[in-house]
Amino acid sequence: MEENLPAGDPADRPVGSSARSASQRLWGALFLLLVGAALLATFVRVPYFVFRPGSVQPLSTKVSVTTGERFNAVGEIYFTTVRQDATVNGWEWLEARMRPSLALIEEDQILGGRSRDENRAFNIQLMRVSKSTAVAVALRYLGIDPFRSTGVGLAEVVGPSNGLLTTDDVILTVDGEPVFEAMELVDAIRGRGPGDIVNLVVEPVRGGTERRVSVVLGEREDDPEVGFLGVVPQTRWEDVADLPVDILVNTGQVGGNSAGLALTLSILDLVTPGELTGGLQVATTGTIDPAGMVGPIGGIVQKVVAARDGGMNLMLVPVDEVSEARNHAGSMAIEGVLNLEDALAVLARYGGQTLDLRLPTE
């Protein structure tokens, strides 16, 4: 006997249609979830910077010899850069986690409490200081000091000197003895105790009328038996006029101070006869201080990759970063240097004429 079933009864549907419908809904939900995740990864910024390999840039085109003779060479000193992605989305974050040539750094570590605009200005200022330091180190190596110390400025005034001295003052003498540099002031105060009176002659930072100031030394917090003047000293430097050689450096909007060693070597190469690099293309990274010491830098992996891909023959890096640099250098030679003398000795081993550098007028 046949039964008449109502229209639409499940028995009329093909076997498995309910399972397929559920599967389609599941795949649809997954698709929407993936689309949402993709949109989120694309448009949401994460609080990181990504460091990427930048470029290698020749310095001979950025260094101008405005006074004195210029000597162009076959070889070249290059400085290396890192490209910073300051706006990072989810995809870029993921890429940086997967590619060894990229570095992912937390935003706070880069900015240090500054805004992005303030951070850019800070890095440009670092480059300005680096350029002036490099010029000074190079010329001093050749026996010329482009700056002279003229007294001890005060970056901060506290404690016993508060109200007597200001950050607009420059100390010229201590108890009648001239002081030209910050360490000379430190040496003049060292060995004195709390309650000792120190007689100073000071003048305004930009020069002007001198005045006499007497300060009763206080106690150092870390050692109450040691006298405390209450200032943070910094040497006041002035340019020396009529030098036999003068240099201008234009690095555009490149910031940071890691080009210091490269700038110093390039200046020496351009103002002295001969091939400082032995005809090689030499990439360099490392800060330099007034004593010619080479300091550490950030982004060593990215800079090495940029130099390697830029076809450099040799790269000079701070000594503490040699191991990491060689891991990414390929066939490019890597040498670690501690100071300017080290760098010149390395270049000499590679055929550079660095052992008797002097200006042509000497």
Who's near 293: CB < 8 A, 6+ residues apart? 338, 339
Who's near 220: CB < 8 A, 6+ residues apart? 226, 227, 228
Lowest mean pLDDT among 48-62, 93-107, 199-213: 93-107
Could you report the per-residue pLDDT of 237-263, keeping only the tens digit for each?
A: 888 888 888 888 988 878 888 999 999
Residue of 10 and 115 predicted with greater confidence? 115
Give 14's Cβ-side CA count (13 Å radius). Answer: 5
Region 261-284: mean pLDDT is: 95
Q: What is the pLDDT of residue 28?
A: 63
Could you report the per-residue pLDDT of 30-56, keeping only the tens digit for each?
A: 666 665 555 555 566 777 778 889 999
CATH fold of the domain at 147-239: Pdz3 Domain (2.30.42)
Q: What is the pLDDT of residue 3?
A: 46
* pLDDT tier for residue 101 given thresholds of 50, 70 and 90: confident
Region 73-99: mean pLDDT is: 80
Looking at the DSSP bridge assignments, the partners of residue 46 are 88
> Would you kindly state where each structural domain of the chain is located, as residue ranges?
16-46, 49-145+242-349, 147-239
What distance in Å separates the CA atoms of residue 36 and residue 18, rounded to the nearest whole number? 27
Two domains, one topology: 49-145+242-349 and 147-239: no
Residue 332 sits at the vertex; the CA angle it makes with 330 and 336, to the nearest 5 degrees, is 110
Among 360, 137, 353, which Cα is nearest to 264's?
137
Q: What is the pLDDT of residue 315?
A: 98
> What does pLDDT average to over the chain?
86
What distance in Å separates the CA atoms of residue 185 and residue 189, rounded to the nearest whole number? 6
Looking at the DSSP bridge assignments, the partners of residue 263 are none
CATH fold of the domain at 49-145+242-349: Ribosomal Protein S5; domain 2 (3.30.230)
Could you report the per-residue pLDDT of 208-235, keeping only the tens digit for each?
A: 899 999 999 999 888 888 899 999 999 9
Q: What is the pLDDT of residue 226?
A: 87
In this structure, the strands spanning 246-249 and 231-239 are: unpaired
